[in-house]
Structure 1
Amino acid sequence: MSVQGPSPSLGKVLITGGCGFLGHHIVNLLVQRHPATQIAVLDLRTNLNRSSSSTVSYHDGDITDADAIKSLFAQIKPDVVIHTASANLISKNEVHYKVNVEGTQNLLKAAQEAGVKAFVYTSSASVIYNPKIELKNADETWPMVTGDDQPEYYTATKAYAETAVLEANRTPASFLTCAIRPAGIFGEGDVQLLPKMVTAFRKGQTKFQVGDNDNLFDFSYVENIAHGHLLAVQALLHTHKMLPTVPLDTERVDGEVFFLTNGQPVYFWDFARAVWHEAGDRLPLSSVWHLGQDFAFFVGGMLEWIFWILGKTPNLTRQQVKYSTFTRYYSIDKAKRKLGYSPIVDLDEGVRRGVRYILEKEEREKQKKGQ
């Protein structure tokens, strides 16, 4: 599918977390596709990843401050909210709950009172993750995993927030909501995935592999996820124009959730090696040491204990072993069918763009130090 050309205005769009990784890509794509749209970005700090477009305004704010959010909505009067803001993964549990759950509830209340038409929430594909069951072509009919069964409290709070967003749909009748569940997002500005893989290459760790590399995994280029969010906004606004008519279940977007990926599940270590190759790694596969999953899990546990005593984090943890050997990929048929979604950038090109961004940034920093 080719990139869409400029389209009509979507009105006033508020993007929470719009200076973050995914958020600023949504801003950029929105500016490109809908240049007449007025965009307001809300973030804790808005000094990074800013657009130079005159159609974008920036507002420092905290979504856990209900009064401040209500005041901002009264000032901006948005037609659309795209809610990407969330707590940092390494934050404490109480912060996860306060930001992800209570912050989302504050936004929903303010949006309902301000007459917002469409509310798109960035959830997570991990909300259905159960460490005992591999995810093979998992779709939206799979149950969410929360409480004691969910190993990641952060993910549990994303699930609670998603539930709140869907329950708010059509309350009032003109308020339409949906949720997007992306998986393994990477790309320019990524701080979780690609930088760690490039660092592993720099440390000479590409000669190790955990497991047999027989587990398919979904990685998603960030522009595709941004593209899916905009399709969801357009679909909700289209439904809003049809009110009070309710679409057929086969066409309905409001009150629904959608998995979004590149639609190209790959073997986990194949993706890692594609990243390393782009970064300059030329190690032949014959030189790679294979660590058995059980052995690596044991070593990871030992290292965690030793490094805990030292007050540090080891390079190999049990969580990393589990992550790199687990089958985890999703069906995007629903998004294709109801949103008209199709990835606009394939996996190889996404890897090229993401790694090139890191290398060029490193080169600029080197030159800056040399001045």
Structure 2
Amino acid sequence: MSDTTIEGPVLIFGGCGFLGHHLVREFARATPTPKIFAVDVNTERNRNPEATYLTANILQRDEIAKIFEQVKPQVVLHTISPSPFEVNHSILEKVNIVGTENIVECAKAVGTVRAFLYTSSSSVVHNQRQPMIEATEALPVLFSPDQPEYYSHTKALAEKLVLAANRQNGMLTAVIRPAALYGPGDGQMTTNVTKQALTGRANIRFGDKSYLYDTCYVENCTYAQTLIVKALLEASTSAPLPADKKIEGEAFFVTNDEHIPFWNLSRLVSELLGSPVPDDQVRNIPIWFMKTFAFLGSWLYWIFSLGRKQPKLTPWVVRLLTMERTLCIDKIKTRLGYKPKFNNRQGWEKAIEWAVPKIKAEKGGKTA
């Protein structure tokens, strides 16, 4: 682990989003605390008194260029992305490709950036068809048509843009690929799993196997990002390291370093809420039934929304929930000394402290 101090301004794109606002908190806890600037289209949420907030649209390069000239950052972290479940190809292309290109080009042009870290996705190496078991960063990044999911295809293209900019105008770049993120402020995985537990559905499982899965508590991810940034800053003042020690121009998986059966997540949350689910109460729903149900539901959504909406449960989602998806994080542990600060259970304890009151408030206090 590097002892490098982050002294220059830190510019966080998506600084009011789920991951982004936790990154603001992570850097705000540093001693000494660097100047922190958070960029978002909506800067009225998830604010931190230690940060300065700037409203901008990453699709407008002139707006982004002005911010770079104003801030003159030493460190840039780019976390902006549509949801993995976004089906609108135009949105995915604009945000993940055009937006990333705008940020990268402005970062190169300003001449002050020494460390640039992009938050990608572990899905960029997964073909979504076969299980992904102990995947490493040595696997090739997949693009369409080898990559059937357009979200992952656009994230892969964004990665390519970022890594291609390494060592240009003094800027070192890297990519972090978190497993499924959860934690306070997450309206997707955290909210959905907690709702399942609160409504008494933690005993439901698709298929008859416990598919191993990797997740990443958000504060483990932000901690890993500080390790990468510090290593990039240190490397920016020296010759490139040997290939087996490099940080710049590299991608890193990050997880809780704890494979868990996916369908045990809601059972864990239910247990933490005081309602453990014994093994003999688990109900196995056949995969073929769920795929058929999801297929019919998707068609009905498509017909009645004129193709503009997609249900939460699709055949693709069923497929992902019934296959193993695990990662090997030896690379980030070996090169950066990464050790998760929170295990899976500790992460969920913190996550439901946020999620339960939010869900109850939305339901008017009702949980079932």
TM-score, normalization: structure 1? 0.91
Pick aligned residue for 1:170 from 167, 172, 181: 167
The structure with the largest helix share of the pair is 1
1:33 is paired with a residue whose SS is: coil
Which residue of 2 is the match for residue 294 of structure 1?
288
Structure 1 residue 194, shift from structure 2 partner = 1.5
Determine the structure 1 residue equivalent to 2:188: 192
> 1:61-76 alignment to 2 at 5 Å?
61-76=56-71
Q: How many residues align?
A: 360
Q: Do residues 305 (structure 1) and 299 (structure 2) align?
A: yes
Give the aligned partner of residue 281 of structure 1: 275
Q: SS in structure 1 opposite 2:117? A: strand
SS class of match (1:36):
coil
CA contact (8 A) 2:193 2:269 kept: yes
* Residue identity matched to 2:258: Q
State the one-letter code of the partner of 1:145.
L
Change (3 A) 1:200 1:365: closer
Whole-Å Cα distance in 2 between the matches of residues 97 and 161 of structure 1?
A: 10
In structure 1, stretches of 5+ residues that fail to align are none
Determine if contact 2:4/2:233 at 8 Å carries over to the other structure. Answer: no
C-alpha contact 1:197 1:276 (8 A) present in aligned 2: no
| 1:358 alignment partner, SS class | helix
Please give the per-residue CA displacement for 1:316-349, whole angstroms capped at 9, x wherever unaligned: 4322321211110111100011122111111110
1:121 aligns with 2:115: no
For 2:76 and 2:167, the matched residues in 1 are separated by 15
Distance 2:45 2:30 in 1: 22
**Equivalent-residue separation in structure 1 for 2:231 and 2:27 (angstroms):** 15
How far has the Cα of 1:278 moved from its partner? 2.4
1:336 and 2:330 are equivalent in the alignment: no
Distance change in 2, residues 1:17/1:34 (3 Å) = farther
1:211 aligns with 2:231: no
Are the aligned partners of 2:117 and 2:173 in contact in 1 as well (CA < 8 Å)?
Answer: yes
- What residue in structure 2 maps to residue 228 of structure 1? 224
SS of equivalent residue, structure 1 residue 22: helix
Task: Give the 3 Å change call, closer, same or farther, for CA 315–130 of structure 1 in structure 2.
Answer: closer
Distance 1:129 1:331 in 2: 14
* 1:230 partner amino acid: T
2:31 maps to 1:37: no
Asked if residue 81 in structure 1 is aligned to residue 76 in structure 2, the reply is yes
Specify whether residues 310 and 363 from structure 1 end up closer, same or farther in structure 2 by C-alpha distance, changes over 3 A only: closer
Residue 154 of structure 2 is matched in structure 1 by 157
SS of residue paired to 2:133: strand
Unaligned runs of 5+ in 2: none
Distance 1:131 1:71, change over 3 A: same
Cα distance in 2 for partners of 1:175, 1:275 equals 42
Aligned to 1:254: 248
SS of aligned partner of 2:237: helix
Determine the structure 2 residue equivalent to 1:324: 321
Q: Residues 213 and 268 of structure 1 are in contact (CA less than 8 Å); yes or no, is this contact kept in structure 2?
A: no
Specify whether residues 367 and 269 from structure 1 end up closer, same or farther in structure 2 by C-alpha distance, changes over 3 A only.
closer
For residue 310 of structure 1, report the CA deviation from its aligned partner: 4.7
Q: In the aligned structure 1, how far is the partner of 2:363 from the partner of 2:188?
A: 22
The aligned amino acid for 1:213 is K
Report the secondary structure of 2:156's partner residue.
helix
In the superposition, relative to structure 1, how do residues 75 and 208 fare at CA in structure 2: closer, same or farther (>3 Å)? Answer: same
